Amino acid sequence: MLRTVTATRYVEPLTSGGSVPALVEADDLGTYVVKFTGSAQGRKALVAEVIVGELARALGLRFPELVLVDFDPAVAESEPHQEVRDLHRASAGINLGMDHLPGAADFTPELARDFPVDPVEAGRIVWLDALTVNVDRTEHSSNLMVWPTLGTVPPRLWLIDHGAALVFHHRWDGADPAKAYDFRHHALGRYAPDVRAADAELAPRVTGELLRRVAAEVPDEWLTGEEGFATPDDARRAYADHLHARVRASAAWLPTDFPTREELAAEDARRAARTRRGRPAWLKRVPDLHGKPAAEQDWSAHLG
């Protein structure tokens, strides 16, 4: 089961995330990015974080440890913003924490141009996203981190933020295990992801037993009152059964139609040309100062 820790020090809010998570220290001396039950995304986002994150870890993908964080809003009483304090007050009790990766870099399009990703690893990540219907790992919102970025250890890709996955649980009566989604603009599409190899390797490992074990990690209180289910265990069974059925239907949803690097470059050029044509003449001579090179960006904060 997920470990439970108690928040002891509120470090700062991470305002780059729509859910306004926070960096928090806990009584185990660890530092965590905490997502709150009172956020606008609701508890379903936390359910998705647990199920997809723990499934990723079980399959050997790099994903930071998740913990349950017992959060007392009094710990963050120094927070100056009223709306953030309201969020904290609405989130007293058990929330979700993800181990902080200090100094990790966002996997941005600029960084991706020179970062080596093996097609096999890319295929595994794309396969997991397709299985769990994670629609939020695009080139411009990758929810991937590169870590470590200093020292002698080679930097590796780490998965984060799966709150937008499992879209079927927003409308259970329309859940179709064989439904396909458009993954052509996946953040790793440019690396020729070998999704067929990933399917052959990973599908047999995603058993009903594994899915039931992963679903069991979700706290009862996040599933209590789930529409259409009498008990939290009924909801857990539905998640496990749906994902297991989806694994068996992988031939229907396996994404294989990824644009080449050349096609992506041509599309980027067309997009830039359209943008520039829409500028007034005087502005066309002004350089774009928003897209800093990756080396000049500040990677000190872990995005939530």
Q: What is the DSSP annotation of 160-183?
A: ---TT--GGGG-GGG--TT-----
Domain count, the chain: 2
Inter-residue contact 171 to 204 (CB < 8 Å): no
* Phi, psi of 173, rounded to the nearest 5 degrees: -70, -15
- CA angle 158/127/223 to nearest 5° reads 80
Output the pLDDT for position 269: 86
Same domain, 16 and 48: yes
Question: Do 163 and 218 share a structural domain?
Answer: yes
Q: Which of 50, 66, 99 corresponds to the end of one domain? A: 99
- Among residues 253, 273, 294, which one ends one of the domains? 253
DSSP 222: H
Domain assignment of residue 60, yes or no: yes
- Judge whether 277 lies within some domain: no
What pLDDT score does 272 carry?
Answer: 83
CA distances (Å), 205 to each of 58, 111, 200, 247, in order? 9, 32, 10, 10
Query: Residue 88 is encoded by which pair of tokens?
Result: 């904290």
Give the 3-state secondary structure of residue 282.
Answer: helix
d(CA 45, CA 43): 5
Q: Do residues 88 and 117 share a domain?
A: no
pLDDT tens for the chain, 304 residues long, are 899 999 999 999 997 767 899 999 999 999 999 999 999 999 999 999 999 999 999 999 999 999 999 999 999 999 999 999 999 999 999 999 999 999 999 999 899 888 999 999 999 999 999 999 999 999 889 999 999 988 888 999 999 999 999 999 999 999 999 999 999 889 999 899 999 999 999 999 999 999 999 999 999 999 999 989 999 999 999 999 999 999 999 999 999 988 877 887 788 789 888 877 765 554 444 343 334 443 433 433 333 3
Do 140 and 78 belong together in one domain?
no
CB 185 within 8 A of CB 137: no
- Same domain, yes or no: 171 and 111: yes
* Domain-located, residue 94: yes
Please check whether residues 18 and 117 belong to one and the same domain.
no
Model pTM above 0.75: yes
Q: How many whole angstroms from its chain centre is CA 208? A: 23
Evaluate whether 203 touches 247 at the Cβ level (below 8 Å): yes
The alpha-helical segments, DSSP class H, found in the chain are 43-58, 82-89, 109-112, 119-131, 195-202, 208-215, 220-223, 232-248, 250-253, 261-277, 281-284
Of 99, 128, 161, at which residue does a domain stop?
Answer: 99
Model pLDDT, residue 279: 56
Neighbours of 171 (CB within 10 A): 9
> Which DSSP string corresponds to 13-55?
E-TTSTT--EEEEETTS-EEEEE-TTSTT-HHHHHHHHHHHHH
191 and 64 part of one domain: no
Q: Give the torsion sign (CA, 133, 134, 137, 138).
A: positive
Indicate if 52 and 149 belong to the same structural domain.
no
Distant-in-sequence, close-in-space partners of 49: CB < 8 Å, separation ≥ 6? 35, 66, 96, 98, 161, 162, 163
Domain residues for 116? 105-253
Give the Cα separation of 96 and 44 in Å (integer): 12
